[in-house]
Amino acid sequence: MQFSSLAGNVALQNILATMEVERKKIASTQKKGYYFIGGGILLGIIGSVLGFPMPSIIAGLAPVIYGGIVLFKINDELQAYKHTYKRDVISEALRFLDSSLTIAPQNGIVAHEFIHSQLFTTEPDRYKTEDLVSGRAEKTAFYFAEVHAEYKTVTQTKNGRKTEWHDIFKGIIFVADFNKNFNGSTIVRPKGFGSAISAWFSTNLFSFSDKDVIKLENVDFDKTFITYGTDQVESRYLLTPAMMERILRLNHNSKYSISLSFIQSRIYIGFPLDRNYFEAPIFKSLLNPDLLNEDISTIKFMYDIVKELDLNTRIWGKN
Amino acid sequence: MIIAIILVILIIIGIFFYNSLIGKKNQVTNAFSAIDVMLKKRFDLIPNLVEVVKQYTNYESETLSKIVELRTRASAGNISDAEKAQIDSQLSTSVKGLMVNVENYPDLKANTNFINLQSTWAESEEQIAAARRSYNAAVTDYNNSIMMFPGSLFAGMLNFHPVPVLETAVEERKNISAKDLFNN
């Protein structure tokens, strides 16, 4: 999907043209702010090197403070600009893809649902979510949002307690209505060294969890993922040979290893990503024809999952 | 003292392995009964299916009576597991044939009851496939642990024997997709 196909959209072009004026204003104000701060710091450093630190630091402080105020004052406008971008530009691009798609920038997938999805074993201590996109591809309703979940570790050092934050997950969580009925839960996680050992332990000695390791006959699938489930038969009912192939393909098309879970008639998929999506550019023109390419291909990728996993085939007693 | 500790450790390991073997053997039995449950569920669909189809078609009576006969044989109660599996396979083929012929009866194809039965049938088809795969996984797991070291040391002594996996009939392999049933 190229932006060029959106180029004919007059409404969108008008919005972008109006926003471009605003963007230029914000960009130049921000540049001004940064120049003052940079200049102030430079003044302090040069002065200190030349042998009169005190007066030069005081002299440098003024532009730094001024630069800070400039940035602070433009912040409200910047937030409004970012919000308008999501509300008008991204939502127009979504509608272009499928009229059922909508974006709610302030909403996301709540922490409770993230934990409930069981995609990850660690519960988050800090949780951020935004940009909820929801829609329907034929018979299948789905939604996805950006999620950043972290846990903290506190260590005792000689300078006191030190808190560190670690990522549990950063990326997009995709949720869709699954096309088969089921009662238990099935979790598919990427295979790592630790998880492989714990899986061996629970298969051969005893398991601490209410879920069994499901050994599947697709060798590639079993090498890539570890599957846990509350019911051996049900997990295989969901992960048919065809479904395993589709999941492998999906995993292959994603940059990082995906995790999946099947819980309460839904499928959850976690796609780790290293960039923020749907963010308005500040120092790049809005009129650049490649502007929306990356965002649209992300949306398209999510939208196509329904087709890719064949979720619209509803012949198993669930409509 | 050291010998006693080693002995205790060996006994504990032995108990663990023995228990895990028993667990795996039970898993095999358990997995087989899951297939049985699914088969029963499918056999129970037959009377309804026959009833609905009968109302709309005049020409399929031969297929229908064959299906009814197979169903009666399956629920007779005194048949072996192998026979049951064979009946199921024949039944599956006959019903598939019937579903394909439904194309000739637009009224039947549009009947809500029939559509429901069709999807329940497709559901049971995949559930049986899943149950069979679970059984085979349980059997492979069990066979591996009695044929590999250290299980192989005492499996024979304790009367553990390998169990064969279920072979998929050529016919079933060909029609693995339940989607074919719908012919669309």
> A192 pLDDT exceeds 60?
yes
Question: Using an 8 Å Cβ cutoff, are A70 and A78 in contact?
Answer: no
Rounded mean pLDDT, A286-295: 80
Name the band, by pLDDT with cuts 50, 70 and 90, for residue A13.
Answer: confident
The CA-based angle A72-A78-A80, given to 5 degrees, is 125
User: In chain A, what is the straight-line distance between the N-terminal and C-terminal CA atoms, in Å?
Assistant: 30
Q: Which residues pair with A268 in a beta bridge?
A: A175, A261
Domain ranges of chain B: 2-183
Q: Which residue of A has its CA nearest to B113?
A: A317
Name the band, by pLDDT with cuts 50, 70 and 90, for residue A151.
Answer: very high
> Quick check: A313 and B126 CB within 8 A?
no
Asked if B137 is an interface residue toward chain A (Cβ–Cβ < 8 A), one would say yes
Asked if B29 is an interface residue toward chain A (Cβ–Cβ < 8 A), one would say no
> Quick check: B136 and A217 CB within 8 A?
yes
> Quick check: A180 and B129 CB within 8 A?
no
* Distance from C-alpha of A16 to C-alpha of A13, rounded to nearest angstrom: 5
Name the residue among A205, A233, A237 with its Cβ closest to that of B16. A205
Name the residue among A215, A233, A314 with its Cβ closest to that of B34. A233
B94 token code pair: 């006959």
Q: Which residue of B has its CA nearest to A231?
A: B134
A55 token code pair: 């007066």
B42-69 confidence digits (pLDDT tens): 888 888 888 888 777 766 677 788 888 8
Question: Using an 8 Å Cβ cutoff, are A30 and A318 in contact?
Answer: no
Rounded mean pLDDT, A252-265: 91
Out of A50-64, A125-139, B100-114, B169-183, least confident range: B169-183
More confident residue, A201 or A241: A241
Sheet holding A140-157, edge to edge: A102-104, A126-137, A140-157, A160-177, A266-272, A259-263, A185-190, A225-229, A212-214
CA distance B58 to chain A (A): 26
> A95 pLDDT exceeds 90?
no
> A206 pLDDT exceeds 70?
no
CA distance B159 to chain A (A): 20
Neighboring chain B residues of A216 at a CB cutoff of 8 Å: 137
Of the residues A237, A245, A310, A318, the best mutation for testing chain B's interface (the one with the most B CB atoms within 10 Å of its CB) is: A237
Predicted confidence at residue B171, as pLDDT, reads: 46
Tell the residue number behind the tokens 């879920």, with chain if given: A211
More confident residue, A82 or A202: A82
Name the residue among B34, B38, B137 with its Cβ closest to that of A215. B137
> Quick check: B119 and A181 CB within 8 A?
no
Positions of chain B with pLDDT lower than 70, given as ranges: 58-60, 168-184
Predicted confidence at residue A170, as pLDDT, reads: 93
Name the band, by pLDDT with cuts 50, 70 and 90, for residue A186.
Answer: very high
CATH of domain B2-183: 1.20.1440.20
Predicted confidence at residue A117, as pLDDT, reads: 93
> Quick check: B119 and A317 CB within 8 A?
yes
Q: A124-157 burial string, b = 16+ CB within 10 Å, else e?
A: beebebbbbbbbbbeebbbbbbbbbbbbeeeeee
Judged by DSSP in three states, A294 sits in: helix
More confident residue, A211 or A89: A89
Neighboring chain B residues of A203 at a CB cutoff of 8 Å: 141
A82 token code pair: 């970012």
> A3 pLDDT exceeds 60?
no
Neighboring chain A residues of B131 at a CB cutoff of 8 Å: 233, 236
Rounded mean pLDDT, A203-217: 72
Of the residues A203, A316, A318, the best mutation for testing chain B's interface (the one with the most B CB atoms within 10 Å of its CB) is: A316
If you average pLDDT over every residue of chain A, what do you get?
86
Question: Using omega within 30 degrees of 0 as the cis cutoff, is the peptide bond preceding A63 cis?
Answer: no
Asked if B116 is an interface residue toward chain A (Cβ–Cβ < 8 A), one would say yes
> A109 pLDDT exceeds 90?
yes
Rounded mean pLDDT, A186-194: 85
> Quick check: A316 and B122 CB within 8 A?
yes
Q: Which residue of A has its CA nearest to B173?
A: A241
Name the band, by pLDDT with cuts 50, 70 and 90, for residue A276.
Answer: confident
Predicted confidence at residue A7, as pLDDT, reads: 65
Name the residue among B133, B140, B181 with its Cβ closest to that of A236. B133
Q: Which of A101, A74, A53 is nearest to A303 (CA)?
A: A101
Q: Which residue of B has its CA nearest to A242?
A: B177
More confident residue, B181 or A210: A210
Question: Using an 8 Å Cβ cutoff, are A125 and A152 in contact?
Answer: yes
Predicted confidence at residue A5, as pLDDT, reads: 59
> Quick check: A181 and B123 CB within 8 A?
yes
The amino acid sitting at A302 is: M
Asked if B108 is an interface residue toward chain A (Cβ–Cβ < 8 A), one would say no
Which phi and psi angles does A49 have, rounded to 5°?
-65, -40
Q: What percent of chain A has pLDDT over 90?
A: 33
Q: Taking CB atoms and an 8 Å cut-off, how many pairs form between chains A and B?
A: 65
List Cβ neighbours of A302 (8 Å cut-off, separation of 6 or more). Answer: A133, A142, A144, A172, A174
Neighboring chain A residues of B113 at a CB cutoff of 8 Å: none
> A293 pLDDT exceeds 50?
yes
Name the band, by pLDDT with cuts 50, 70 and 90, for residue A296.
Answer: confident
Name the residue among A181, A205, A217 with its Cβ closest to that of B133. A217
Predicted confidence at residue A200, as pLDDT, reads: 65
* Distance from C-alpha of A173 to C-alpha of B150, rounded to nearest angstrom: 44
Out of A13-27, A271-285, B11-25, B57-71, least confident range: B57-71
Name the band, by pLDDT with cuts 50, 70 and 90, for residue A143.
Answer: very high
Neighboring chain A residues of B130 at a CB cutoff of 8 Å: 233-237, 240
Q: Which residue of A has its CA nearest to B34?
A: A233
> A202 pLDDT exceeds 80?
no
Asked if B180 is an interface residue toward chain A (Cβ–Cβ < 8 A), one would say no
Half-sphere exposure of A274 (CA within 13 A, CB side): 4
Which phi and psi angles does A263 have, rounded to 5°?
-140, 135
